[in-house]
Amino acid sequence: MTNKTLTLSIVIPAYNEENYLRACLDSIAGQSVMPEEVIVVDNNSSDNTRAIAKSYGFVKLVREKQQHQSFAQKTGFDLATSDIIGRIDADSVLPTDWVQNVKKHFSNQPELVALSGGTLPYDMAAKNASSRILSLYLGLASRLAGVRMLWGANCALRRSAWQEIRHRVLTRGDIWEDFDLSFCLAPHGEIMSFKDIDVASSFRAVHKSIITQTRYQFRAIRTFHLRTNMLKTATVFCIWSTMYFMFLLVTLDRFGLSPAIRLLGSLRRAAKIVSLEAE
């Protein structure tokens, strides 16, 4: 354990996030321990993302013209000045003790170079099932890679480690930048996962068309191809092919479970109103 009080910067890449960013920044404003720095990296937004970011006094707004999260992430990380760099998405909603717990884990474990947490999706009725499926695939990828895979919507790393690897990370639009970050960080210390930093987030990626989703998921396979050998790449391809099960879950959730829950809620509210009128 170290006696030094660690500082923390939060980096948020953002591209047309007007529907999500305010809730994200509100959750940062409500932290029990505020971060020392919040950097929103605007990645060529054409909506109100920049205006929303500017409306929060604690936000440092910068711009990255090269399109993709890998470029926006690198820009934010390079500008961060704290001991720890937190990395979340614009649709991440943090629990009130997120900053406090991230600092605690890094303070208590000097060998820890990076950490990650999970999520409970707020736009899926089958929240727990969706969360477990995400954890399953991240766990399988981690076992295959031999290092814990970071999840970009909820992770953090030491700034000193970033300075060691910043010239090794891939900046291209056809990879998963969080997986690539994990491969680069692996030789520098421990990467661990903690439940007490789990966030709420959107599962918007799985609501897109099957063609868009296929292209997106293939980025994970390409990242393995660029960072590992053909055997591991072929294995992750076979594992990721089963991801199409998520489309079935999303379809059932969207057209079955979610409407049923909304209907049940409406019936309960109506029954409550009738009961109050009867009194």
Domains and CATH numbers, the chain: 8-202 (3.90.550.10)
Tokens encoding 273: 């109103």
Output the pLDDT for position 248: 66
DSSP state of 79: H
Output the pLDDT for position 210: 74
Output the pLDDT for position 132: 85
Q: Are strands 84-88 and 8-14 parallel, antiparallel or unpaired?
A: parallel
Output the pLDDT for position 65: 96
Global confidence as pTM: 0.87
Output the pLDDT for position 214: 82
- Do 191 and 96 contact (CB within 8 A), yes or no? no
Output the pLDDT for position 147: 95
Residue 274 CA: distances (Å) to CA of 148, 265, 266, 271, 277: 53, 14, 12, 5, 5
**How many CB atoms lie under 10 A from the CB of residue 190?**
15
- Identify how many contiguous H helices and E strands the chain contains and give both numbers: 11, 9
Q: pLDDT below 70 — which residues of the chain? A: 1-3, 126, 206-207, 244-279
Tokens encoding 17: 């996030």
- Do 145 and 189 contact (CB within 8 A), yes or no? no
